[in-house]
């Protein structure tokens, strides 16, 4: 592709002077790049990613579809599903004329404390890489660029912009670079994002070893590398290291400094030309160079029936049944006591840059009531958050339009109205189109509290605030201080007070930011702010537990929904524990003690501890299920859709009982000392106690016999996806330059559906190499959807890329002898067949 287009691009580059070229290499705004009409370059538009296309505003922007989070999508273990996701996200992008989607995230689930794991697929590199490739294919087939992120060794958030991830070369190659390598090889992504952190003492944005030697050299990749937002730490070293584009803009460390570096001879102008050429290649690929592309005009709206069906299905099929004594699926006619704050306020997405502004979010209470009607009672549970949150849609209404939400007015110093609109959420980012200095910005929310009582009121965001609830509260000129630029946006500080308010009270909040104005460069992201208004937290835990138990005792089945919130699952912050926050464990126990049968739904994107596991009858992991979350949970509970998920991450039995744990750098360094033995690999190697549930575990709604497991010689060819099975498996596609001629082994097994429903089984193939020090690893998988009583023969190939070992002395790949044991399993806790390799 490059060679055909390169001469033209080179000619275009040659028409620009140094300043013009350098100007293109830093963003024009938060999410756009500078156009250059002289060469036919249009404005390129970028958007987060990865599971919803938020658009050009950081928050409070356009209403778009909210997809299930990456861990839910990945739990389907299905490349077909991931291709569909890529295609749908491309549609979401095209609907807003966005050229580049900042996803997928393919960092690995190293320590489960990582705050951003919900955005990434798995702890396994093969699963992550194959799913990422499918996502990229689905997206780029529509002419929208994907952006793999974050290159590389960016598995946690603590000290995220300065931490030095110390990773030996073998671990880097065999584990953390592998998903990138697989995605590059199988889907040719058009862009990649360099991470915030350093890797072995060198900033990821200056990593010549990774970007030049490996990516462009060994992998022959010709795409564009952009920095993570504000991650670039230098001018010439980053440009020479292979970084093409600094984001965001217009400020940044390149600009004049890069021009000076070229003029002083520190950097060859040819390096700048290379960056511009790659930028033009990206533009050409997405239709932003030359003839303007046409954008389809008839794409499904975020609240269309089409999206409802797609998002419900995608969420439900990724939900995972961990345990089930037969209570699931629930029968129609069953009376259900639905309990828990997450039942009422279901968490559908994680926090940070992955957030979008969805048209609605269906709670589990709404979803289950829609299916079971009067058969459901809903009881609130214990508090689940430590910090106040913005008013939820529905709790407040816009007094001017009467719609759920708030009214936002933004005024300039001269009284000019800059923005005046309805907001669906009580949190927004103020972003101005023009750069303005020394302006006083005043933002006013008005909201009507629908249900009175003891109410918590306050503000969210840095600045001088005035909070007024006429007749009830007047707190003039509060100063709410923040911790730093990014954190002020991602985790803004709050101030609250509690007041008694009657139904329908009108609340007005005003913020005045004095002096200094909005600094250029911040104008697009602006600052996050919000109105806090919610029923005051319930302190009397015993009373809450008693109410829950009473409701549970009165129904056939109790369904308790527990989980995490954006306080734990967010960008910029890591977790301290896998314990459920608040008194949720006590809530489960109280309900289980009172109920006839108890089902726990875990509404969290990543593993939580379940100390009550033996006291309940079934556990369904719902993940962060997106805007149709409540409908999807209801469909899964009732079996209208099979929750056919398999875990993408191993769940440990206790805090610390995992092969990699601490995410706190010591003297700025985070040492990846467990090597390639993260997750199930490390548990299997004895680096941690046996887990509660292994990667790959998931019961679905049927039972299976596996018979006739055998090795079969491969007849050649690539990409076998599993015999008579459906999509979702991995084949043994060759890996150029590394393993050619070494494939050749597949395994077949017959899976017999012995249950009473059609179901999807996922056959996973693991290899425990004979070579010492080599952990067990997933070598491939294949799936089959089989009717009750029927059977299918499934074939899985060993992916040759997992046979390689990086020889540190020779600085090259080596092949491990194909000796040891092959395991056919549904997670290593449920091995169905073992095959000895002759060695």
* Interacting residue with ligand BGC among 36, 48, 123, 628 (CB under 6 A): 48
Residue 227 or 379 having the CB closest to ligand BGC: 227
b/e map of 45-64 (b: 16 or more CB within 10 Å)? bbbbbbbbbbbbbbbbbbbb
Which candidate, 132, 122, 47, 26, places its Cα nearest to that of 90? 47
- Can residue 343 be called a binding residue for ligand BGC (CB under 6 A)? no
* Interacting residue with ligand BGC among 128, 310, 353, 510 (CB under 6 A): 353
Shortest-Cβ-distance residue relative to ligand BGC: 353
Identify whether 228 is a catalytic site residue. yes
- Can residue 569 be called a binding residue for ligand BGC (CB under 6 A)? no
Residue 77 or 229 having the CB closest to ligand BGC: 229
Shortest distance in whole angstroms from residue 50 CB to ligand BGC: 8
Provide the token pair at 166: 């110390």
Report residue 118: phi and psi, to 5°: -60, -20
- Can residue 701 be called a binding residue for ligand BGC (CB under 6 A)? no
Residue 48 or 78 having the CB closest to ligand BGC: 48
Residue 26 or 310 having the CB closest to ligand BGC: 26
- Can residue 149 be called a binding residue for ligand BGC (CB under 6 A)? yes
Task: Lay out the site mask for ligand BGC across 217-246 (x = CB under 6 A, - = otherwise).
Answer: -----------xx-----------------
What is the distance between the terminal CA atoms of the chain, rounded to a whole angstrom?
42
Shortest distance in whole angstroms from residue 52 CB to ligand BGC: 12
Restricting to residues 795-814, name those near ligand BGC by CB under 6 A. Answer: none
Shortest distance in whole angstroms from residue 294 CB to ligand BGC: 27
Which candidate, 578, 664, 681, places its Cα nearest to that of 178? 681
Catalytic residue among 164, 228, 244, 398: 228
CA distance 333 to 643: 20
If binding means CB under 6 A, how many residues of this protein chain bind ligand BGC? Answer: 8
Which candidate, 646, 594, 601, 651, places its Cα nearest to that of 621? 601
- Can residue 102 be called a binding residue for ligand BGC (CB under 6 A)? yes
Q: Which helix (H) or strand (E) is 185 found in, with range?
A: helix 178-187
> Do the beta carbons of residue 277 and residue 219 sit within 8 Å?
no
CA distance 466 to 480: 11
* Neighbouring-strand partners of residue 495: 459
Reduce the DSSP state of residue 406 to 3 states and report it.
strand
Shortest distance in whole angstroms from residue 144 CB to ligand BGC: 15
Shortest distance in whole angstroms from residue 133 CB to ligand BGC: 19
Tell me the three-class secondary structure of 810-834, residue by residue.
Answer: CCEEEECCCEEEEEEECCCCCEEEE
Give the max Cα distance, the chain.
Answer: 83
Shortest distance in whole angstroms from residue 452 CB to ligand BGC: 38
- Can residue 53 be called a binding residue for ligand BGC (CB under 6 A)? no
Residue 53 or 822 having the CB closest to ligand BGC: 53
Shortest distance in whole angstroms from residue 711 CB to ligand BGC: 42
Q: Which helix (H) or strand (E) is 128 found in, with range?
A: helix 125-140
Q: The sheet that has 669-671: what strands, in order across it?
A: 202-203, 198-199, 164-166, 669-671
Residue 351 or 381 having the CB closest to ligand BGC: 351
Q: Check residue 799 and report its DSSP letter.
A: P
Residue 57 or 446 having the CB closest to ligand BGC: 57
> Do the beta carbons of residue 93 and residue 47 sit within 8 Å?
yes
Restricting to residues 633-692, name those near ligand BGC by CB under 6 A. Answer: none
- Can residue 379 be called a binding residue for ligand BGC (CB under 6 A)? no
Shortest distance in whole angstroms from residue 256 CB to ligand BGC: 24
- Can residue 777 be called a binding residue for ligand BGC (CB under 6 A)? no
Residue 162 or 220 having the CB closest to ligand BGC: 162
CA distance 743 to 797: 8
Which candidate, 698, 705, 725, places its Cα nearest to that of 644? 698
Residues with catalytic roles: 228
User: What residues make contact with ligand BGC under the rule CB under 6 A?
Assistant: 48-49, 102, 149, 228-229, 353, 571
């Amino acid at each position: 592709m490059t060679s055909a287009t390169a001469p033209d691009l080179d000619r275009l580059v040659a028409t620009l002077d140094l300043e013009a070229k350098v100007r293109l290499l830093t963003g024009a705004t938060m999410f756009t790049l500078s156009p250059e009409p002289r060469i036919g370059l249009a404005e390129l538009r970028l958007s987060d990613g990865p599971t919803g296309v938020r658009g050009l505003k950081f928050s409070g922007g356009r209403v778009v579809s909210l997809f299930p989070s990456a861990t839910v999508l990945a739990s389907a273990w299905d490349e077909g599903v991931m291709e569909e996701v890529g295609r749908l996200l491309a549609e979401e992008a095209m609907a807003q004329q966005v050229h580049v989607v900042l996803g997928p995230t393919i960092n690995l689930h190293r320590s489960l404390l990582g705050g951003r794991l919900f955005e990434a697929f798995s702890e396994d590199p093969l699963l992550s890489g194959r799913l990422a490739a499918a996502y990229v294919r689905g997206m780029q087939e529509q002419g929208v660029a994907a952006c793999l992120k974050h290159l590389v060794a960016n598995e946690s958030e603590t000290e995220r912009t300065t931490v030095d991830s110390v990773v030996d070369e073998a671990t880097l190659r065999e584990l953390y670079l592998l998903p990138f390598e697989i995605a590059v090889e199988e889907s040719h992504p058009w862009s990649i994002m360099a991470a915030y952190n350093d890797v072995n003492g060198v900033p990821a944005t200056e990593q010549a070893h990774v970007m030049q030697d490996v990516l462009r050299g060994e992998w022959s990749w010709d795409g564009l590398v952009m920095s993570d937002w504000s991650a670039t730490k230098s001018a010439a070293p980053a440009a020479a290291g292979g970084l093409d584009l600094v984001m965001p803009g217009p400020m940044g460390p390149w600009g004049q400094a890069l021009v000076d570096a070229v003029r002083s001879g520190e950097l060859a102008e040819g390096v700048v030309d290379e960056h511009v050429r790659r930028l033009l290649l990206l533009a050409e690929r997405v239709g932003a160079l030359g003839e303007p592309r046409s954008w389809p005009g008839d794409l499904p709206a975020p609240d269309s029936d089409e999206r409802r069906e797609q998002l419900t299905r995608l969420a439900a099929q990724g939900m995972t049944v961990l345990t089930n004594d037969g209570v699931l699926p629930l029968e129609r006619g069953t009376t259900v006591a639905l309990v828990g704050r997450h039942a009422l306020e279901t968490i559908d997405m994680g926090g940070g840059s992955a957030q979008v502004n969805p048209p609605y979010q269906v709670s589990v209470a709404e979803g289950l009531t829609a299916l079971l009607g009067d058969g459901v009672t809903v009881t609130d549970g214990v508090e689940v958050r430590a910090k106040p949150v913005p008013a939820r849609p529905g709790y407040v209404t816009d007094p001017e339009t009467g719609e759920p939400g708030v009214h936002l007015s933004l005024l300039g110093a001269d009284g000019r109205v800059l923005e005046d609109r309805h907001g669906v959420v009580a949190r927004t980012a103020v972003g101005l189109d023009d750069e303005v200095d020394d302006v006083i910005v005043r933002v006013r929310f008005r909201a009507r509290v629908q249900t009175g009582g003891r109410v918590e009121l306050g503000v969210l965001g840095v600045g001088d605030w005035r909070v007024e609830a006429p007749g009830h509260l007047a707190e003039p000129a509060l100063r709410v201080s923040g911790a730093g630029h990014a954190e002020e946006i991602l985790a803004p500080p709050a101030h609250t007070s509690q007041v008694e308010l009657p139904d329908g009270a009108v609340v007005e909040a005003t913020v005045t930011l004095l002096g200094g104005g909005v600094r250029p460069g911040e104008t697009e992201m602006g600052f996050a702010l919000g109105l806090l208004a919610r029923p005051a937290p319930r302190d009397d835990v015993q009373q809450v537990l008693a109410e829950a138990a009473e409701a549970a005792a009165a129904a056939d089945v109790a369904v308790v929904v527990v989980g995490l919130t954006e306080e734990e699952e967010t960008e910029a912050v890591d977790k301290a524990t896998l314990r459920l926050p608040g008194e949720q464990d006590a809530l489960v126990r109280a309900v289980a003690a009172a109920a006839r049968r108890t089902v726990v739904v875990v509404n969290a994107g990543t593993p939580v501890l379940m100390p009550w596991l033996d006291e309940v009858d079934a556990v369904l992991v719902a993940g962060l299920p997106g805007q149709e979350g409540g409908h999807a949970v209801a469909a899964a509970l009732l079996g209208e859709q099979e929750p056919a998920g398999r875990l993408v991450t191993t769940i440990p039995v206790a805090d610390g009982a995992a092969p990699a744990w601490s995410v706190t750098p010591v003297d700025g360094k985070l040492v990846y000392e467990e090597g390639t033995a993260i997750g199930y690999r490390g548990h299997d190697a004895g680096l941690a106690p046996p887990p509660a549930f292994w990667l790959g575990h998931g019961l679905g709604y049927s039972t299976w016999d596996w018979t006739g497991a055998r090795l079969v010689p491969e007849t050649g060819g690539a990409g076998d996806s599993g015999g008579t099975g459906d999509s979702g498996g991995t084949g043994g596609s060759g890996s150029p330059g590394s393993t050619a001629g070494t494939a050749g082994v597949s395994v077949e097994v017959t899976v017999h559906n012995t249950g009473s429903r059609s179901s999807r089984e996922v056959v996973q193939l693991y290899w425990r190499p004979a070579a010492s020090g080599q952990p067990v690893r997933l070598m491939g998988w294949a799936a089959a959807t089989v009717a009750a009583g029927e059977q299918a023969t499934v074939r899985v190939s060993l992916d040759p890329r997992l046979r390689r070992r990086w020889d540190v002395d020779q600085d090259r790949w080596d092949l491990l002898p194909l000796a040891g044991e092959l395991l056919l399993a549904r997670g290593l806790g449920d091995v169905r067949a073992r095959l000895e390799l002759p060695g």
